[in-house]
Homo-oligomer: A and B are copies of this chain.
Amino acid sequence: MSGQVAESATLTKKDFVSDQEVRWCPGCGDYSILSQIQKVLPELGVPKERYAFVSGIGCSSRFPYYMNTYGFHTIHGRAAAVATGLKTARPDLSVWVITGDGDGLSIGGNHLIHAIRRNIDLKIVLFNNRIYGLTKGQFSPTSEVGKITKSTPYGSIEEPFNPVFLALACNATFVARTIDREPKHMQQVLRRAAEHKGVAFVEVLQNCSVFNDGAFENITDKKVKKEQQLLLEHGRPMRFGPGGEKGIRMRDLTPEVVTLGEGGIAEDDLLVHDEAAPEPTLALLLARLGFPVYPTPIGVLRAVDSMPYDRAVHEKIAEIQKSAGPVGDAAMQELLSGRATWDVE
């Protein structure tokens, strides 16, 4: 987000809670995401009125109604496109896109990849529950092969998208992943996303308690999470496991799970996370790790600097305006007249 920092020191979570009853199912992971965003926003030093939440259609996309900020619940799949216009017209706002795996990756896939490619300074939070919730349980572009749903009674045969992987292929300047059940981690990631200048793409693994309950259990469950989550920290070697006894090492171009101490493996042998690497090679490698062979990377995969689109647009305009001189009635008249005129008397 851009915009000056105003006197917003006194904002609290409460300021971001709207008067609308929250209408998600009991146990839905969306509640946690709402709560974390409401907690993080007051800390960012942005005046409340500068926030605008734009969403598409889906359970997740009801989000803006619950935020006491400016909000626009648009149409299915188009949040990124609407937000692109809003942010390009109004770079002073902090514009957040709330979308689902269906909204953002199925019908809205094109707008998403183009918004990321352009590096529009949007904070895109994709609630990935690997299902269409609002339409009552069809498979989505992130559903796993073999998934039985209302529209795939014999099991899905489609290879799913990996959202962070796809975002990286669009040259995303900020890519992260977090989990509905990990409030602290989510807050950290959201804060980082908010502070990034340029597009920030955040995938949140979100449980749909009604149509896809337990979809992420194998990595989020308390009992396995230490084994199954690889917490990324910039500049730190990649360790995981209950006591941090495991790690990731590279063998040529293939990452490998190793146990520290075994076969003489020391921390120095491990891959070190570098979210700021100019090339996305490491981030791409990380994006592909996951259950069952690897732990699933959680945290910021990539964060690099690049001029946001919306700022570039307005800098160019300002530059031209500066050199062309003030725009007044005379300039307008000149514009209307064009180059070649003649008089009739």
Residues of A within 8 A of B (CB): 106-107, 109-110, 113-114, 117-119, 141, 154, 157-162, 165-166, 168-171, 250, 252-254, 277, 279-282, 284-285, 288, 306-307, 309, 312-313, 316, 320
Contact = CB atoms under 8 A, between A and B. Distances in A.
19 contacts: A106-B114, A109-B110, A109-B113, A117-B141, A117-B160, A117-B161, A154-B316, A157-B307, A157-B312, A157-B316, A162-B169, A162-B171, A166-B169, A166-B170, A169-B169, A169-B170, A250-B253, A253-B285, A279-B288
A109 B114 contact: yes
A159 B117 CA distance: 6
A169 to B, nearest CB: 3
Nearest to A166: B169
Given A158-B309, A279-B288, A281-B285, A166 B253 contact: no
A285 to B, nearest CB: 6
A157 B166 CA distance: 22
A166 B113 contact: yes
A171 B288 CA distance: 11
A289 to B, nearest CB: 10
A254 B320 CA distance: 40
Given A106-B114, A250-B252, 18 more contacts: A109-B110, A109-B113, A110-B110, A117-B161, A118-B158, A157-B307, A157-B316, A159-B306, A161-B170, A162-B169, A165-B169, A168-B169, A169-B170, A253-B279, A253-B281, A253-B282, A281-B288, A284-B284
Contacts of A252: 250
A104 B312 CA distance: 26
Contacts of A160: 117
Nearest to A160: B117
Nearest to A171: B159
Nearest to A164: B169
A171 B252 CA distance: 21
A29 to B, nearest CB: 24
Contacts of A253: 250, 253, 277, 279, 281-282, 285
